[in-house]
Amino acid sequence: MPESVRLAMAEPTIHHRTPEFEAIFEETRALLFKLMATDEVVMLASTGTGAMEAAVTNLCHDTLLFVNSGKFGERFGKIAKAHGLTTMEVRNAWDTPASVEEVVSAVKANPHIDAIAIQISESAGGLRHPVEEIAAAVKAINPEIMVIADGITAVGVERIDVAHIDCLIAGSQKALMLPPGLAILGLSHAAIEKTGEGRGYYLNLASEIKKQRQNTTAYTAATTLVIGLLEVLKQIDTFGFGKLYCDTARRAKATRFALEAIGLHSYPHTPAKSMTTIDDAQASEIRAILKEDFGVNVAGGQDHLKGKIFRINQMGFIESYESVWVVNAVELALAKLGRRAYDGTANRVYNEEYFKNMLQPKESA
């Protein structure tokens, strides 16, 4: 969390049904439209999973096809089942993205499918699904099918083409650099039409849309988090969303190249830009050394990947000197484990990749 965001959130709490908060809400919505590039945006006082549930219950009325290449994909299926919806699954190993062909053949095989749900970046194994291609292919078969894309570790990481996406989900505590508790849904006109009067009570998108268009919320807004979100979005907007996406992509690539150069293996077949995921028999030992010797926290794996992977965050404002410190710490950890003599390769490769365009003459506009 950037300091300015923490400070903005430290101001006295204001009442949500006031012109003062409505002005903040309006400004936040305007910047969210810029971030999401969807026809409508809705903020919910819930974590990301609440938005996933709202998307499924409001946009799927019959059969949900869910893509499962990890814990979060699996969750879409669990949500649908909890609501008595029929499900169909496209399942792969956690390092393997869904292919357009397998989704297309599943959609063609079952005319009851009225929505598909997929992660853009599946955080369980750090992979990127080809969501835009899948969405376009599904819409070509049947434009009525709703495409729900969980962008919780993708929105704020890279520009997402929402041309064929009906619902794009974001959450506060990942790339948006905020505490947990706020979720955002970007919706297409078709999604708004499909939800009609809305479904459910608290997670009823129709009642939220109605209120949020008037710069208020159906129930009490998460005021402090909205204030924090406004500050985050304003900051990104001052230097441009494009620069954030570009820096993140460079950092993610440079980190992966640096770690591969010291003999480590990138786990997913199609790495997401949100995180760098390494599978290694000594993942736990590496994580422990990073934490104890270098003050670096990296995430481990869950379920069958516990102790087998580590994941380095690339989301948010991260200075390249921090990434340089991290890849160097990993190289030192390998030396400490007796795997490889330390020679500064990780740092050199990171810097070469990250800064390679800096010395080239600037192209004229």
Ligand X SMILES: *Cc1c(COP(=O)(O)O)cnc(C)c1O
* Residues 256-315 close enough to bind ligand X by CB under 6 A: none
Q: Distance between CA 289 and CA 197 in Å, rounded?
A: 54
Q: Distance between CA 300 and CA 312 in Å, rounded?
A: 9
Q: How far is the CB of 19 from ligand X (least distance, A)?
A: 31
Cβ atoms 29, 212 nearer than 8 A: yes
Q: Is 123 in the site for ligand X (CB under 6 A)?
A: yes
Residue closer to ligand X (CB basis): 119 or 323: 119
Q: Which residue is nearest to ligand X (CB)?
A: 48
- Write each residue from 135 to 174 as x if it is in contact with ligand X (CB under 6 A), else as -, in one continuous string: ---------------x-xx-----------------x--x
Question: What b/e sequence results for 157-166 when a residue is b if at least 16 CB atoms lie within 10 Å of its CB, and e otherwise?
Answer: bbebebebbb
Residue closer to ligand X (CB basis): 28 or 172: 172
Q: Nearest CA to 113 among 144, 135, 134, 92?
A: 144
Q: Is 320 in the site for ligand X (CB under 6 A)?
A: no
Residue closer to ligand X (CB basis): 126 or 198: 126
Residue closer to ligand X (CB basis): 117 or 330: 117
User: In the chain, what is the greatest distance between 2 CA atoms, to the nearest angstrom?
Assistant: 64
Q: Is 212 in the site for ligand X (CB under 6 A)?
A: no
* Residues 59-118 close enough to bind ligand X by CB under 6 A: 72
Q: Distance between CA 131 and CA 150 in Å, rounded?
A: 10
DSSP classification of residue 171: E
Residue closer to ligand X (CB basis): 77 or 171: 171
Q: How far is the CB of 190 from ligand X (least distance, A)?
A: 23
Using the rule CB under 6 A, which residue among 5, 28, 36, 49 binds ligand X? 49
* Residue carrying structure tokens 């965050």: 313
Q: How far is the CB of 72 from ligand X (least distance, A)?
A: 4
Q: Nearest CA to 206 among 222, 221, 194?
A: 194
Residue closer to ligand X (CB basis): 258 or 316: 316
Residue closer to ligand X (CB basis): 67 or 324: 67
Contacts of 318 (CB under 8 A, 6+ apart): 251
Using CB under 6 A, which of the segments 30-38, 41-49, 218-226, 301-309 binds ligand X? 41-49
Using the rule CB under 6 A, which residue among 48, 228, 301, 316 binds ligand X? 48
Contacts of 163 (CB under 8 A, 6+ apart): 132, 135, 136
Residue closer to ligand X (CB basis): 52 or 236: 52
Q: Residues in contact with ligand X, total (CB under 6 A)?
A: 12
Q: How far is the CB of 285 from ligand X (least distance, A)?
A: 25
Using the rule CB under 6 A, which residue among 26, 45, 47, 299 binds ligand X? 47
Residue closer to ligand X (CB basis): 182 or 244: 182
Cβ atoms 39, 29 nearer than 8 A: no
Q: Distance between CA 347 and CA 264 in Å, rounded?
A: 14
Distance, CA of 350 to chain centre: 24
Q: How far is CA 209 from CA 40, 42, 43, 145, 349, in A?
A: 8, 6, 9, 21, 48
Q: How far is the CB of 178 from ligand X (least distance, A)?
A: 11
Task: Give me the phi and psi of 37, to 5 degrees please.
Answer: 60, 30
Q: Side chain identity at 31, as an amino acid letter?
A: L
Q: How far is the CB of 221 from ligand X (least distance, A)?
A: 18
Q: Distance between CA 169 and CA 249 in Å, rounded?
A: 20
Q: How far is CA 359 from CA 126, 356, 362, in A?
A: 32, 7, 9
* Residues 180-209 close enough to bind ligand X by CB under 6 A: 180
Site residues, ligand X (CB under 6 A)? 47-49, 72, 119, 123, 150, 152-153, 171, 174, 180
